Structures are given as C-alpha cells and as structure tokens.
C-alpha cells in the first residue's frame, strides 16, 4: 500500500469520526412548565458489565485456536515453540475481542437549564 493511499484512509477515518461525533451534538431547547428554558441532548453512554465473562472465554478460545495454528509451523523443538507462541498470541487477541463483548451502548436524554445572560 502506497503512502498516499494510507494518508487518504486516515483522512477518511478522521472525517467519519468527526461526522459521528457531530451527530450527538444536536440539542433541543424548550420552556418547561415552570417557565425555565431547558436544553436537552441525546448522549451516547457506554456501559461496562461488572462481571463479564467475555474476556476469560475469549482468552481461552483464542489461546486454543492460536495453539492449533502455531502447531502447523516448525519442526522438532521449533514446533513446540511455535505452538506456544501461537497460543500466547491467540490468547491476547481473544482476550481483547472478549472484552469488547462485555460492553454495550445506550443513548440517554440529558437535560439542563439554559443560563440566561
């Protein structure tokens, strides 16, 4: 991949991130029954499960799969080293994937009074 293509990909990703962030900045202003002006926004809230099992399960599954793949390479004692390296790499990757499954996103409406002056 050429340098200019990499730069384009980074620029597109940055633009997409800016657009995604700007969607949540929309606010609605209204007057409540007490006559106060209120501003309400929908905000993205990421929740983390307190006792998730995804990290543990992902680590175990990733380690097993990585060991199987690593076992296909090397001969003699090199085979054992490749199996171990594959298991460690798979466990690390599996753990990261599993952790991401221990979160969920909700959108909540948050309101605050508009300060006058």
Q: Which residues of the chain have pLDDT under 70?
A: 1, 17-25, 50-55, 100, 116-117
Domain ranges for the chain, please list them: 1-49+105-117, 51-101
Specify the pLDDT at position 74. 72
Predicted TM-score (pTM) of this structure: 0.44
Q: Sort 56 into a burial class: Cβ within 10 Å, 0-12 / 13-18 / 19+.
A: middle
Distance of alpha carbon 107 from alpha carbon 96, whole angstroms: 24
């Amino acid at each position: 991949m050429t340098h200019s293509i990499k730069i384009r990909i980074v620029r597109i990703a940055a633009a997409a991130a800016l657009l995604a962030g700007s969607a949540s900045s929309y606010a609605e202003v209204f007057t409540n029954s007490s006559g106060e002006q209120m501003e309400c926004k929908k905000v993205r809230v990421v929740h983390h499960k307190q006792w998730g099992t995804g990290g543990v399960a992902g680590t175990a599954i990733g380690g097993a799969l990585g060991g199987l793949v690593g076992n296909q390479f090397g001969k003699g004692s090199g085979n054992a080293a490749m199996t171990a390296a594959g298991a460690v790499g798979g466990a690390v990757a599996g753990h990261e994937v599993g952790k991401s499954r221990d979160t969920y996103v909700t959108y909540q409406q948050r309101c605050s009074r508009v300060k006058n002056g």
